Amino acid sequence: MTDFSYEIVKEVGVLSETSRGWTKELNQISWNGREPKYDIREWAPDHKKMGKGVTLSEDEIQELKKLLSNI
């Protein structure tokens, strides 16, 4: 497995919480020192473990916002 680094630049909000205490969150994250992107994934309470997620650019998050406003 390849090493990687991440920094949670901004915690936008929690979408849900599991019975184990993990939370599904929307955050802005810088992966490997790159420009921060929006990210949706599950996190352990200490943010040291994470589940698989989806990372979105600023343009993609704006498009998602438009799509969600139609439902």
Domain CATH for 16: 2.30.31.70
pTM strictly above 0.85: yes
Q: What digits encode the pLDDT tens for the residues 3-54?
A: 889 999 999 999 999 999 999 999 999 999 999 999 999 999 999 999 999 9
Nearest to 57 by CA among 38, 42, 29: 38
39 neighbors 64 (Cβ within 8 angstroms): no
Which domain does 16 fall in, by range? Answer: 6-69
Instruction: Report CA-CA distances (Å) from 39 to 2, 5, 16, 35.
Output: 20, 14, 14, 12
Total domains in the fold of the chain: 1
Give a yes or no: residue 1 inside a domain. no
**pLDDT over 80 at 1, yes or no:** no
